[in-house]
Amino acid sequence: MKKSVVLIFLFILTFVACKHLPSLTPHGPNDPPVGGAPCNADTVYFQNDILPIFQSSCAKSGCHNAASHREGIILTDYNNIISTGEIRGGDPSHGNIYSTITSSSSSDIMPPPPDAPLTADQIAKILKWIEQGALNNYCDGGCDTVDVKYSLQVKTLLANKCIGCHNTASTGGGISLDNYSGASSVAIDGRLIGSVSHATGYIQMPQGGSKLSACEIKIFQLWLDAGAPNN
Ligand code: HEC
């Protein structure tokens, strides 16, 4: 009798203790993003650095967005990316995503031709993010609107969030944003601000992605207010 009481007690204790143990997979596909501290230069952040690459280069219409889901693969957000089972934190050799973006074979590489492959910088970021655990993290990027220049803030923002769909090979809506003349012409005709601020009458950009932050929109606005110079 006494023994069984002890056993029951132990059982309850184990159950209670287990419930308070941290989850073994700290970032399951459905867990919300963690972070908010100022960005650390040695860390790659999923929400800031990695998701824009997937959204502009992979989750396009006809490829890996929810409607097209080529080969069943949807790459629109953390949940879908991790749920493919093709990425495992700490192990870049696991799964097909890292191997296809770095493939040397034109029939295997993603994004496939005529789209340009990811840049060396984008690939390096994805590698580091996987090595650092493939977490759903974000940081406060301290978006810099002081002395806005095309060659600095504007070009970086376009590179991070737009040129996967708007480059010379793959021109969404006939617009290429990987060069000054393409970017300045849509700035000056009003479509750049109209589309990123989701103004009525414009197609909302980035297509299929989350709306730019107020500070990011301000970067484009300040550049336009200055006459969209090539500075
Ligand atoms: C996932 C692909 C994708 C991404 C990412 C994307 N675009 Fe687009 N964009 C398109 C496509 C496709 C069109 C043409 C849509 C149409 O004509 O229906 C387009 C159209 C536009 C237009 C014309 C809008 C209009 O109302 O005429 C502008 C301006 C534009 N994009 C700017 C941007 C900017 C700036 C970004 C980054 C912040 C961006 N896009 C990110 C695919 C994308």
Q: Do 214 and 141 contact (CB within 8 A), yes or no?
A: no
Give pLDDT, residue 11.
52
Q: Which residue owns the Cα nearest ligand 1 atom 20?
A: 173
- Give the position, in ligand 1's atom list, of the atom nearest the Cα of 174: 14
Give pLDDT, residue 26.
55
CA–chain centroid gap for 221, Å, is 23
Q: Which amino acid is at 200?
A: T
List all residues 6 or more positions away from 88 whose beta carbon is below 8 Å from its beta carbon: 94, 95, 130, 134
Q: Is the CB of 64 under 6 A from ligand 1?
A: no
Give pLDDT, residue 28.
79
Give pLDDT, residue 20.
44
What is the best residue among 118, 175, 189 to mutate for testing ligand 1's pocket, by most ligand atoms within 8 Å of CB? 175
- Give the position, in ligand 1's atom list, of the atom nearest the Cα of 201: 26
Token pair for residue 52? 């824009």
- Greatest CA separation for the chain: 86
Q: How far is the CA of 206 from the centre of ligand 1 (A)?
A: 6
Give pLDDT, residue 66.
84
Q: Do 195 and 202 contact (CB within 8 A), yes or no?
A: yes
**Consecutive 10-residue averages of pLDDT for the chain (231 residues):** 56 47 57 85 93 87 84 90 93 93 91 88 95 93 87 92 84 88 96 97 91 93 97 97
* Contacts by 190-197, CB closer than 8 A, 24 or more apart: 192/220, 192/224, 193/217, 193/220, 193/221, 193/224, 196/220
Residue with token string 């390096």: 124
Q: Report d(CA 163, CA 160) in Å as an integer.
A: 7
